[in-house]
Structure 1
Amino acid sequence: MRAIVPRLLAASLLIACTAHATDGPPPTPRHDVSDTLAGTRVNDPYRWLENPDAPGVTQWIDAQNAYTEATIGKMPLAKDLSARIRELAITSTTRSSPTLAGGTLFYFENTPPQPQPVLVAKAWPDGPVRTLVDLNQGDGNTAITEYWPSPSGRYLAYGTAEGGSELTTIHVLDTTTGKPLPDQLAWAGGGTTPQALAWDADEKGVTYARFATPTRDTPLREFDAYLAHHALGQPQSKDTVVFGKGYSDIAEYILHTGNGGKTTALLANEGDGGPAEVFLRSGDGPFRKVLGHDADVRSAEWVGDRLFVVTFAGAPRGKLVAFDAKGTRSDVLPEGDGAIQHVTALGDGFLVVRSAGPDWWADQYDGKAGFVRRVPLPRTGIVIGGVAAEKGQAKALITYTGWTVPTHWAEYDGDTGSLKTVFEVKPAADYSKVRVTRIDGTSKDGTRIPVTVISMDGVTPNGRRPTILYSYGGFDIPVTPSFIGPNLAWIERGGVLAYANLRGGNEYGEAWHAQGQKTHKQNVFDDFYAASQALIDHRWTDTRHLGILGGSNGGLLMGASLVQHPQQFRAVVAMVGIYDLPRHETAFANGPYNRSEYGSVNDPAIAKAMLAYSPLYNVKPGTAYPAVLLTTGANDPRVAPWQSRKFAAALQSATTSGYPVLLLTRMNAGHGIGAPFSQRVGNAALSMTFFATELGLGQ
């Protein structure tokens, strides 16, 4: 259930809504349903809402949408904030996800308000830009999910998915002519199982991840993914299995090709958030395991003719080991300062990107793993994204962004140490007066929790600033210094934004992640409370002006935080969140994939921990809960939309505060992956309008 990105980025549909608000939310019937979990009887009166096709559920969803739209539509700043957010989102052309292959640079390019990015290519570094794939002719709800150039760059495989579903079909085109090949590979992962693809060295076929083909009698089963080989020009029915049959019902794969496609590395995971096993394959031979789960591997990359693997076994911040094509292991780099995030080849050496909390940097090493220099990037306030390089070349393309720094691409010369900006996004406003401040919170067990506070120059702590605190806290995913972009609409009106680095992410390495997993999950909620209290202790805000925001696993964080500390927060926005942990595992396809992060309800200790923090089971009738806005997508493959339905119903029934509890379900949307421009901007306007009204922005 990997994360959605922290965006306060749909409100045109809300502003134009003609529905009439009622005095309260639509009533929700309760039905007697119960289970026994960890020896405890658990009531589940809203289980009937799990089935969207059941009698009454569609009407209930429609009524909730109408109530939410009417309530938001009456909020005084809705129109102004929506217009300002859209204005700030229309920057110059943006670029993302660069990859070099055969001297050609491939990347995504998007010119707002274009619904979806287009996939382009250019001879590196100064060739003309050629558009390869543009899916903007339709309604904007078809997205490119991923792409994979062949070793020479002549061919390009790319995936597409519809309406936020993430279920991928892979297509292939000839980049020299721009013409598509007839090959279309359906059921190629997405959502529960990420896509994966590796080209053959002769570029006549690909190995890719897929589900079994559904039939009339056997519906699509998003489990038991395997790797198949496809020969270009042949029907998909002739594809052969090369790995994965019987490996794991919740298998996930990452493929990396080395030596021009002659050698393939496979990182195989059992679900999200856990360590990978590492396999190597030469040519079309079998995959041979070289590292097991005990090595605690999180990533790998080819450097020259060796596979560099990041292992956290005995090294909480990570160390590097290498394997040649025969599987012979050698040690490369011991644990150092900062957690290793990723590695990229450079000349006869390599670059290592590291982090420590919200700080990121990149170090260069030579072919003998000797330290050369730190790349001269800004020392603080940025996150390093993709690094594109080709074997043997001394130059790399480094992408980075920061709180007040829109996307930059820089050419780094490993021979001279020079760094030259070759592309930067021109924002739609002046961010030079935005100020970034660091404070710390102290969690329940004494752990220090970094909090980044963002405000306009002259906006100082006065104990009552309308403040939005964001975090995530799970699945090894860090909270990073991403460009605030349209969120300027909040701080330019005197509001404050804050971002907390909680356990469960990997900002400080794998130990930081592990301390927020399974039976340790409560640490994440304690960390978040500590971050919120730090904002109050440093007099940025108080409980009447503090709002919290999160999505996906961060939605779980929101749910747990509001039921554990209902008086700490005035408003909560939770997007596509999990609120019923036991049912997430047992009644939804993606749930078992999350066992490596949350644990299994079949383990009594895990079940007991889940009952203690699972938001739905800790809603207490007669409690004054804060104002709450829940959003979900009907096509979400990562978190069931019924999670939000059940939680909304429980909160609406229980709260005595008089503050609204709202639920919005988007019918042609998913988890947020591949959402079109209008939906992204609308999400921001919806959240910000809600927070502005409830927290008193500008008053």
Structure 2
Amino acid sequence: MRTTGRPQFLALCLAGAVLLMTAPDPAPAGPPDDARRPPLDYPEATRGDVVDDYHGTTVADPYRWMEDIDSAETRAWVEAQVALFDSYIADVPARNRIQDRLTQLWDYEKFGIPFEKGGRYFYSYNSGLQNQNVIYSTPSLDAEAHVLLDPNTLSADGTVALAGLAPSKDGSKVAYAVSDAGSDWMTWKVRDVASGDDLDDQIRWSKFSGAEWTPDGSGFFYGRFPEPKEGDDLRAANFFQKVYYHQLGTSQDDDALVWEDPENKDLRADATVTDDGAYLILTLGRGTDDKYRILYRPLADLDAEPVHLVGDFDADYTFIDNDGPRLFFRTDKGTPLGKVIAINVHHPDPEDWETIIPETEETLLGANRVGGYLIAQYLKDARSQVKLYDLAGAFVREVEFPELGTASGFSGDRDDTETFYSFSSYTRPTTIYRYDLATGASTLYKEPQVGFDPDDYTTEQVFYTSKDGTRVPMFISHKKGIAIGPDTPTLLYGYGGFNIPLTPSFSVSRLVWMEMGGVYAVPNLRGGGEYGEAWHKAGTKLQKQNVFDDFIAAAEYLIDQGRTSTPKLAIQGRSNGGLLVGACMTQRPELFGACLPGVGVLDMLRFHTFTIGWAWTDDYGSSENADEFEALYAYSPYHRVEQGACYPPTLIVTADHDDRVYPAHSFKFAAAMQGAQGCDNPILIRIETRAGHGAGKPTAKIIEEAADEMAFVVHELGVPLPEAD
């Protein structure tokens, strides 16, 4: 089964759980100015005397000591910050009502996209408020399904999550990975589908890797890193990944080394087995740039050295499937918006490549081969468009969708006659459809029942002009019939990085925000993947400021159009989006009414020294390069904090087990902001325990975080709340 998208190891920066927000229809406003609390008494944070020299520029780093997140001093500071936030949020009257409303709406059935292996179907399901989704298996979609994997039984607090799932080709076994407390580290295990029992096999120290079975189900390929030193597993940089083959029934110590590159510590590889079992494909990459080198070897020859086929980290080459010796790839070589090509392993020279699906006006995200078709998934102005082609590249048909939104799925094997996909929008919950490949008919398979009417809400797409004249799209969603004006509370959410597009998707928190009369706006900033590689590159390295300018211009557009005003405008982003918020609020603090930087990359001079941060230099650059240092230093949120400036009310969000974006980023930024704040606006940090960057977070923790964030926004913007029942 091939799937659309970039290799597993490039999932190094999450767009993240988009804002978790809430509440019902309007009524009295928030607290008047004279009812606001006195200035907060922030925990003391010692200013150290660390100073670094970057290419002749001296830069102070007074909170370097916070990078030791387990030191007694850091833990004491964290505990004091937790107590401060708890005290603040306990005094917000709307907090409990918000959580109640969130919980009420969150309690609906959630269905995953089914997929078939060896005549068995597998899918995920959540009855409503289960902390983790449960994996089911069934011999047919009409038969009774049984529970195959229930992560909720693995920990009392729901913090052990399923991080990967790979059924064998005959569907008799599944390799599955679990992660603890939100860490990126995964432990792979193997379960027998018929009995539900685990085998003795166990794989440790895997990260950013899938499991790829051999056709006979005797074993699988996987990637792992060297075991870190004791105590360094959440902080140390991850280098020298290797690919191994694990034979079932043997110890991990006996696994066969398939690929390594001891000369290049930053290279990593994803292993793929072709559906016909002929080849093992290795996709080599470094960093997070979509530029690869492809190696291959006959699968059956375990002693064969992988042979270079195409690419030298010059372009994207995402493997789709093969037709004998012809291998299909999605590439942007010479075509920034992408195309599908075929390369014959016996004649791999570029002049012998075949163009199967040429570049179009839309961005080609990827393609799957299912049955006798290539299913190509495009973005047209940041919304989904899906087209079917035959294997020769002849257009067959386009898939019709009910509205502007996001479709995903369309996976399967070469002998399938059906596929499944999900569709969602800002106002439509994720709905599952079965697609008949022969007729092109989409049949509703699973539709969630949420306690609201989607027809009561609307989404429009507008285009605005950024600082340098670039035309940028933005989705604006809200409840129909509300009065739009300067007093309209508005949440502006952004990301803008790593070639990741932000497309319409459903969230209970956003629904509740709109339910109480709020507007939800999402601009598609440069740095993302909405318009191909040129759009992505225009928001990277020395051009990263374009992303911040695009976001600031979105805020100015909403204000200039009379849709909101500064006192009613909140901004939020997570991960790279946390950087976005941090940069914009330090550059234009007077523009925003509240700011929520979540799990953000906030120290741009040292991010590459933690865990997988070095991989992000493809997008950000590195302070070790003089030109890139100047650009990074100019916008690094931690370093741009000015003593005595008046910053908007700010809630920084992080987690103590985040080994993607190390929590010291948020700790240092919070300490700097609290020490510099020149007015009474609160600067708070919410620190989650036993949680990571976002993936695998239990439902209970998601709802709690949502309620806290929403309560903060409601209080600080004076958002109207409904009358109590």
Q: How far apart in 2 are the matches of 1:222 and 1:607? A: 22
What's the counterpart of residue 166 of structure 1? 184
Paired residue type of 2:67 = E
Contact residue 476 and residue 505 of structure 1 kept, 8 A: yes
Q: Is the 8 A contact 1:638 1:671 kept in 2?
A: yes
Which string of whole-angstrom CA distances, capped at 9 and with x for unpartnered residues, describes residues 483-519 of structure 1? 1323222112111111110011101111111111111
Aligned to 2:410: 387
Contact 2:655–2:687 at 8 Å: present in 1 too?
yes
What is the CA deviation profile of residues 199-252 of structure 1, one whole-angstrom value per residue up to 9, with x for unaligned ones? 112211111101224577998873211101111101111112110232632333
The secondary structure found in structure 2 opposite 1:86 is: helix
Question: Is it true that 1:60 corresponds to 2:77 in the alignment?
Answer: yes
Q: Tell me if the contact between 1:91 and 1:111 (Cα under 8 Å) persists in the aligned partners.
A: yes
C-alpha distance in 2 between matches for 1:676 and 1:472: 23
Match of 1:312 in 2: 332
- TM, length-normalised to structure 2: 0.91
Structural mapping, 1:5-404, within 5 Å: 5-9=16-20, 23-92=40-109, 94-96=110-112, 98-137=114-153, 138-139=155-156, 140-189=158-207, 194-213=208-227, 222-246=238-262, 248-283=264-299, 284=302, 285-297=304-316, 299-302=318-321, 304-305=323-324, 306-324=326-344, 328=348, 329-380=353-404, 382-404=405-427
The alignment partner of 1:437 has SS state of strand
Partner of 2:483: 460
Residue by residue over 1:650-672, the C-alpha shift from the partner in whole angstroms, topping out at 9 and shown as x without a partner, is: 11111223110001112211101
Which deviations, in whole Å up to 9, do the C-alpha atoms of 1:299-345 show, x marking residues without a partner?
A: 33215544321111211110111235657443211111211112111
Is residue 85–residue 487 contact of structure 1 (8 Å, CA) maintained in 2?
A: no
Distance in 1, matches of 2:232 and 2:600, equals 30
Structure 2 residue 435 is matched with structure 1 residue 435 = no
CA distance in 2, matches of 1:4, 1:437: 22
Q: What amino acid maps onto 1:56 in structure 2?
A: E
Q: 1:277 to 1:572 in 2, by over 3 A?
A: same
Letter in 1 for 2:334: G
Alignment partners' CA distance in 2, 1:21 and 1:694? 13
**Within 2, Cα distance between the matches of 1:510 and 1:580?**
26
- Residue in 2 that maps onto 1:657: 679
SS of the aligned residue for 2:673 comes to helix
**Counterpart code for 1:479:** L
Q: Under a length normalisation based on structure 1, what TM-score does the superposition of the two structures give? A: 0.94
CA 417–669 in structure 1, closer or farther in 2 if over 3 Å, else same? same
C-alpha offsets along residues 461-494 of structure 1, whole Å, 9 cap, x if unaligned? 2122111100111111111100132322211211
Residue type of the alignment partner of 2:436: D
Change (3 A) 1:545 1:623: same
Q: What is the count of residue pairs matched by the alignment?
A: 684
- Alpha-carbon offset, residue 604 of structure 1: 0.9
Could you list the per-position Cα deviations for residues 529-568 of structure 1 after superposition, in whole angstroms to 9, with x for gaps in the alignment?
1111111122110111110000101000010000011011
**8 Å Cα contact 1:303/1:349 also seen in 2:** no
Deviations along 1:431-481, one digit per CA (max 9) or x if unpaired, are 320111222221111111111111111113212211110011111111110
Structure 2 unmatched runs, 5+:
1-11, 23-36
Contact kept in structure 1, 2:311 and 2:317, CA below 8 Å: no
Change (3 A) 1:124 1:188: same
Partner of 2:605: 582
Give the alignment's Cα RMSD to 1 decimal: 2.1
Identity %: 33
Secondary structure of 1:581's aligned partner? coil
SS in 2 for 1:136: helix
Aligned equivalents of 2:177 and 2:17: distance in 1? 24
Query: Which of 530, 536, 543 matches 2:559?
Result: 536
Give the 3 Å change call, closer, same or farther, for CA 120–51 of structure 1 in structure 2: same
Q: What is the CA–CA distance in structure 2 between the aligned matches of 1:129 and 1:594, rounded to whole Å?
A: 42
What does 1:505-654 correspond to in 2, within 5 Å?
A: 505-586=528-609, 588-654=610-676
Distance 1:246 1:321 in 2: 31
Paired residue type of 2:62: P
Distance 1:248 1:554 in 2: 30
Amino acid at match of 1:156: V
Output the CA distance in 1 between the equivalents of 2:289 and 2:407: 21
The code of the aligned residue for 1:177 comes to S
CA contact (8 A) 1:198 1:256 kept: yes
Aligned partners of 2:296, 2:657: CA distance in 1, in Å?
Answer: 36
Residues 4, 673 of structure 1: 8 Å contact kept? no
What amino acid maps onto 2:343 in structure 1? F
Q: Provide the rounded CA distance (Å) in 1 between the counterparts of 2:387 and 2:254.
A: 46
Q: CA deviation at 1:100?
A: 2.6
Alpha carbons of 1:600 and 1:395: their partners in 2 closer, same or farther (altered >3 Å)?
Answer: same
Residues in 1 aligned to 2:420 and 2:686: alpha-carbon distance in whole angstroms: 41
Compared with structure 1, are the counterparts of its residues 237 and 160 closer, same or farther at alpha carbon in structure 2 (3 Å cutoff)? same
Take 2:231 and 2:151, find their aligned partners in 1: how far apart are those partners? 33
Q: Which has the higher contact order (CA 8 A, sep 6+)?
A: 2
What SS does the corresponding residue of 1:160 show, helix, strand or coil?
strand
- Give the letter aligned to residue 93 of structure 2: P
Shift of 1:186: 0.8
In 2, the alpha carbon distance for the partners of 1:481 and 1:101 equals: 30
Change in Cα spacing, 1:467 to 1:293, as seen in structure 2 (3 Å) is farther
Consecutive unaligned residues of structure 1, counting only runs of 5 or more, are 12-19
AA aligned opposite 2:53: T
Gap change, CA 1:578 and 1:651, over 3 Å in 2: same
- Assess, with a 3 A threshold, how the Cα gap between structure 1 residues 214 and 452 changes in structure 2: closer, same or farther: closer
Q: Distance in 2 between matches of 1:663 and 1:502?
A: 26
Aligned residue in 1 for 2:29: none
Which shows bigger deviation, 341-350 or 232-241? Answer: 341-350
Q: Is the contact between residue 578 and residue 597 of structure 2 (CA under 8 Å) also seen in structure 1?
A: yes
CA distance in 1, matches of 2:310, 2:491: 43
Q: Specify the SS of the correspondent of 1:439.
A: strand
Between the aligned partners of 1:171 and 1:478, the Cα distance in structure 2 is 32
In structure 2, the partner of 1:17 is none
